[in-house]
Amino acid sequence: SEKQDLSGRRILISAGGTREPIDPVRYIGNRSSGKMGYALAEEAARRGADVSLISGQTSLTAPACVNIIKVETAKQMQCRIEEKFPDSEIIIMAAAVADYRVEDIADQKIKKTAETLTITLRKNPDILFSLGQKKKNGQFLVGFAAETQKLLAFAQDKLERKNLDMIIANDVSKKNAGFNTDTNIVKIITKDKNVEDVPLMTKTALASVILDRIILYFDR
């Protein structure tokens, strides 16, 4: 039988990539498939948690027994996450949130007349940063860091700057790791600067390891 070590725990998970519209038919997106976040949601629900999954666009089907809310843009994701945040004990941000959105979304489809086209981007809110500011005792905040260089240094900087309890450092330049793969390779870094190298494994297996580590630290 399955372990029910997350029984009744209220867990909030984000997954997938956001889409930032350019005009009615185009958007700026990223390569996140949602697999990592969905694996975490599925595994947490299997272990008895009360899971809310805030999901960007993906082709995955919603895991069983998970309360799923689908969003498109970073601002929509922020709104739905902030609604659920005060009532959540464990929060895991696996989503690839767009750092910038299109400043002026065109009302009509942009015609291909000019030889060059300039689109001005405006910085999006950093959802995880604002959660770190609002975090209360009894809330455990986990971020991801997708990096192509200086993995440990950049991830550690995000952990501190965003006031996280744990960060999952993801070298997305590695083969079979990161965006749109069934497997991943990560480092789990905690607030007390413990670094654990997690070797190549499926995102489902990794989800289980991440939840094991969260339980270990959350219950302290």
Residue numbers of the site for ligand PMT (CB under 6 A)?
A: 16, 32-36, 74, 93-97, 99, 124, 126-128, 143-146, 158, 170, 172, 178-180
Q: Which amino acid is located at 176 in the chain? A: N
Identify the active-site residue in 30, 124, 170, 184: 30
**Is 126 part of any known ligand binding site?**
yes
Q: Which amino acid is located at 133 in the chain? A: Q
Tell me which residue of 7, 43, 34 sits closest to 206, measured CA to CA: 43
**Which of 6, 93 has the CB closer to ligand PMT?**
93
Q: Do residues 18 and 97 lie in contact, with contact meaning Cβ atoms separated by under 8 Å? A: yes
Tell me the closest approach of the beta carbon of residue 70 to ligand PMT, in angstroms: 14
Tell me the closest approach of the beta carbon of residue 130 to ligand PMT, in angstroms: 8
Q: Is 30 assigned a catalytic role?
A: yes
Tell me which residue of 40, 7, 11, 5 sits closest to 139, measured CA to CA: 11
**Which of 48, 125 has the CB closer to ligand PMT?**
125
**Which of 6, 96 has the CB closer to ligand PMT?**
96
Kindly state the helix (H) or strand (E) to which residue 19 belongs, with its residue range: none
Tell me the closest approach of the beta carbon of residue 119 to ligand PMT, in angstroms: 18
**Is 128 part of any known ligand binding site?**
yes
- Specify which residues 108 forms β-bridges with: none
**Is 75 part of any known ligand binding site?**
no
Tell me the closest approach of the beta carbon of residue 35 to ligand PMT, in angstroms: 3
- Specify which residues 147 forms β-bridges with: 171
How far is the C-alpha of 92 from the C-alpha of 46, rounded, in Å? 16
How far is the C-alpha of 201 from the C-alpha of 204, rounded, in Å? 8
Q: Which residues line the annotated binding site for CTP? A: 99, 109, 125-128, 144, 158, 162
**What residues are annotated to the active site?**
30
